[in-house]
Amino acid sequence: MPGFYNVVVVDAIGVIDSVSFEIGVLSGGNILAIQVNSTVASTPYTADGTATAIVNGGVPPYTYAWSNGGTGPNIFNLLPGNYSLTVYDSQNNYGSKNFSVGIDPIFPIIQWVSIPAGTFTMGSPSFESDRGSNEGPQHSVTLSGFKMSKLEVTFAQYDAFCDATGRTKPSDEGWGRGNRPVINVDWNDATAFAQWMGCRLPTEAEWEYACRAGTTSPFNTGSCLSSSEANYDGNYPYSTCAQGTFLGKPQPAGSYAPNAWGLYDMHGNVWEWCSDWYGGYSSGAQTNPEGPSSGSDRVLRGGGWRAYSAACRSAGRGAGFPSYRTNDWGFRLVVPN
């Protein structure tokens, strides 16, 4: 339809570009002079930007048509992004204006996958090969919808955080930075990055639900996990599955096919910090669980590049001291849906 539009393009490592354009001619008479004053949002994922329209000319009253659905001279709770406004007066004169609600350019771009609300069985059945006793009892968990980062947080994204805050950059062990998953970060580092971005770490339940993507098998790939599907120590295959290869270091984020919900590297590459304290499961049904109220270790999930395949299972659980760093631990993010 005729109007004002904007296209935003994001590539695989989060580089973003955009362009605004117009289609057709709006009906009406003389064009009104429109000015929009906007304020930046505080983080890339905080909806606290605002915009105010100033109209010169025409015959009031004015009718406001903001691209986000607003109908008054002021709009609030805007995420960073590109918007448009068209104003009509009582004589059908009109004016249009494209504008942006920005953020400080130091913030990296995160690509998100929407995870639907639902109920699943958390943990592994007693007959699953190589299961740990801490994976039971199985129990029903119901979760609200949320968004999870498509990829593990990369060095490029974490380094931007360090540059902005003066934090010491973690070692890449000589393997390279850029779009490789950040390593040598503890739970406190991961949490600080998440808060700076206006996000958080996933709960353990959210992580397993998103990893499974509707599956009930040991892996979201089925009963086996091959070294062409994930980065782990293929010298130690799962159960009776075929032996694979061992690459000996993390691979760039997104190097393997995603699961059914579009998430990459949920098995292997780096273990991922969760928000929960580590503790035992209860058998009762739960809704949006957040784990124990206290503890000594934080949960890690997914296995890493030097893990055996069994540790990479959807139900596999790990844990570590919140202040401990190593070269196969990283993280990803979530935000409300």
Q: Using N-to-C axis directions, what is the helix angle for 187-196 and 155-165, rounded to 10°?
A: 80
- From first to last of its 337 residues, what are the pLDDT tens digits of the chain? 444 445 555 454 444 444 444 444 344 445 789 999 999 888 888 889 999 999 998 999 999 999 999 999 999 999 888 899 999 999 999 999 988 898 777 789 899 999 999 999 999 999 999 999 999 999 999 999 999 999 999 999 999 999 999 999 999 999 999 999 999 999 999 999 999 999 999 999 999 999 999 999 999 999 999 999 999 999 999 999 999 999 999 999 999 999 999 999 999 999 999 999 999 999 999 999 999 999 999 999 999 999 999 999 999 999 999 999 999 999 999 998 8
H helices within the chain, ranges in order? 155-165, 187-196, 204-212
pTM tops 0.85: no
The string of DSSP letters for 285-332 reads -EES----S--S-EEEES--TTS-GGGGSTT-EEEE-TT---TTEE--
- What CATH class does 107-337 carry? alpha beta
Dump pLDDT digits (tens) for 96-120.
Answer: 998 889 877 778 989 999 999 999 9
Residue from 84, 52, 49, 93 nearest 66 by CA: 84
User: Yes or no: is domain 3-101 CATH 3.10.20?
Assistant: no
- End-to-end C-alpha distance for the chain, whole angstroms: 29
Alpha-carbon span 122 to 74, nearest angstrom? 46
Residues 6 or more apart in contact with residue 116 via CB below 8 angstroms? 145
pLDDT at position 325: 98
**Cβ neighbours of residue 178 under 8 Å, at least 6 residues apart?**
13, 154, 155, 156, 252
Burial 220-230 (b: 16+ CB within 10 A, else e): bbeebbbbebb
CA distances from 301 to 134, 210, 320, 325 (A): 13, 12, 11, 15
Q: What is the pLDDT of residue 30?
A: 58
Residue extents of the structural domains in the chain: 3-101, 107-337
The H or E element containing residue 34 is strand 33-39
pLDDT in tens, 114-141: 999 999 999 999 999 999 999 999 999 9
Of 103, 114, 130, 163, the C-alpha closest to 239 is 130
